[in-house]
Amino acid sequence: MKKKKKKTKKVISRNLGLEIGSICGRYFLKLKHLHYGYWTDGLDVDISNIHLAQDEYVKFIISHVPEGVKTILDVGCGTGELAETLLNRGYEVDCVSPCPFLEKQASELLGDRTHIFECFYEEMQTDKQYDMVMFCESFQYIDLEQALSKTNEFLSSGGYLFISDVFSKDIKARGVMSGGHKLSKFYDRIAKFPFRFIENVDITEETAPNMDLYGDVLENVIQPVTDVGVRFFESRYPIATKFLKWKYRKKIEKAHKKYLEGGRTGDDFRKYKSYQLFVYKKDAQE
Ligand SMILES: C[S@@+](CC[C@H](N)C(=O)[O-])C[C@H]1O[C@@H](n2cnc3c(N)ncnc32)[C@H](O)[C@@H]1O
């Protein structure tokens, strides 16, 4: 019971993180998407180019949609921008969005061109079946077993499972860089489903620069701003600040370790993570 509560808290805080990311990204950098950028040769790794790198990522995704696909379930549709691009290309797209804030953005953008299942994928119910179930950087948030069994349920025979996401290598990262199912576990689990391997592209190199930019923002914006805030409270409310620092010392230490002590560079990403595109086909079942 206690474990479930902890898991729910983790899921909620991750979704809050995505909301904040969406608000800041949209406001400061005019970003439409929530996924990583795909840094092609010749694109300067600079924060002002993230929107271009995100557009390259969309191009990469679209170029790998298998021929013959007509209907798509976009799981974890974020702001709905990728679904819109797919709709504009003639695909029929339904979406899944468990986060009310993002769901609102997606439904304002997509209107009645789509149906949005407002729930966690793990809880989704429908009789509909799709030619392709797509996870663009959403697979990591979903329980592995459930993601695969629900997809098996919602895919028509001969349909495709399409995943583009971060996975963890079998190297223990000291809690600095979390996120992503273990690749070895993924291979182990997917082998138990009637999915036949079609394609795998490793885009770790093209996505690692995002981590350099992220680390740079943490070091040069988030940390100094946090320090200024703390100094302000210390000068105004010294006793209360001292008390809060003591009361939440473990949490503060953990957050400091996780976000502010480095370990978030492109090289760390290459070492501990791998960003993979996988396409599998659901075999006809007798
Ligand atoms: C990093 S964003 C990616 C959004 C979008 N696919 C894109 O490429 O911009 C992750 C998405 O996964 C969704 N998500 C998180 N947990 C989920 C779950 N259990 N079931 C379905 N979607 C989930 C979030 O709400 C968010 O829309």
The CATH number linked to 18 is: 3.40.50.150
Instruction: Let me know if residue 16 belongs to a domain.
Output: yes
> Is the pLDDT confidence value at 14 over 80?
no
Report the distance separating Cα 58 and Cα 103, nearest Å: 20
pLDDT at 50 (0 to 100): 92
Output the CA 283–ligand 1 centroid distance in Å. 27
> Is the pLDDT confidence value at 3 over 60?
no
- What is the pLDDT averaged over residues 237-242? 84
Largest distance between two CA atoms of the chain: 72
- What is the pLDDT averaged over residues 129-155? 96
Listed in sequence order, the residues at least 6 apart from 248 whose beta carbon sits closer than 8 Å to its beta carbon are none
Quickly count: other Cβ atoms within 10 Å of residue 225's Cβ: 10
pLDDT at 2 (0 to 100): 52
Report the distance separating Cα 114 and Cα 93, nearest Å: 6
State the pLDDT confidence band at 276, using cuts at 50, 70 and 90.
very high
Q: How many domains does the chain have?
A: 1
More confident residue, 128 or 232: 128
Answer whether 140's CB lies under 8 Å from 165's CB: yes
Output the CA 130–ligand 1 centroid distance in Å. 19
Instruction: Let me know if residue 60 belongs to a domain.
Output: yes
pLDDT at 108 (0 to 100): 95
Report the distance separating Cα 179 and Cα 131, nearest Å: 28
Give the tokens for residue 31: 């970003």
> Is the pLDDT confidence value at 150 over 80?
yes
- pLDDT, the chain, mean: 88
Burial 88-97 (b: 16+ CB within 10 A, else e): eeebbbbbbb
- What percentage of the chain reaches a pLDDT higher than 70? 90
Report the distance separating Cα 8 and Cα 122, nearest Å: 13
Cα dihedral 264→269→271→274 (10° resolution): 160
State the pLDDT confidence band at 29, using cuts at 50, 70 and 90.
confident
Listed in sequence order, the residues at least 6 apart from 44 whose beta carbon sits closer than 8 Å to its beta carbon are none
Instruction: Let me know if residue 236 belongs to a domain.
Output: no
Instruction: Let me know if residue 196 belongs to a domain.
Output: yes
Give pLDDT tens digits for 162-221. 999 999 998 876 556 778 999 999 999 999 999 999 999 999 999 999 988 887 777 777
Instruction: Let me know if residue 260 belongs to a domain.
Output: no
From 9, 73, 81, 138, the mutation candidate for ligand 1 (largest count of ligand atoms within 8 A of CB) is 138
Report the distance separating Cα 279 and Cα 286, nearest Å: 22
Query: From the CB of 274, is ligand 1 less than 6 Å away?
Result: no
Report the distance separating Cα 112 and Cα 93, nearest Å: 11
Nearest atom in ligand 1 to 142's CA: 19
Nearest atom in ligand 1 to 141's CA: 16
Give pLDDT tens digits for 31-42. 888 889 999 988
State the pLDDT confidence band at 8, using cuts at 50, 70 and 90.
low
> Is the pLDDT confidence value at 67 over 80?
yes
Least confident range of 54-68, 90-104, 240-254: 240-254
Residue 218: C-alpha distances to residues 137, 178, 213, 214 (Å): 21, 16, 9, 6
pLDDT at 234 (0 to 100): 84
Query: From the CB of 106, is ligand 1 less than 6 Å away?
Result: no
Instruction: Let me know if residue 221 belongs to a domain.
Output: no
Query: From the CB of 98, is ligand 1 less than 6 Å away?
Result: yes
State the pLDDT confidence band at 7, using cuts at 50, 70 and 90.
low
Query: From the CB of 142, is ligand 1 less than 6 Å away?
Result: yes
For ligand 1, atom 13, the nearest C-alpha belongs to 76
Where in the sequence is the domain holding 7, given as residue range(s)? 2-208+266-282
- What percentage of the chain reaches a pLDDT higher than 90? 57
pLDDT at 222 (0 to 100): 75
More confident residue, 6 or 279: 279
Instruction: Let me know if residue 258 belongs to a domain.
Output: no
Instruction: Let me know if residue 152 belongs to a domain.
Output: yes
- What is the pLDDT averaged over residues 10-26? 74
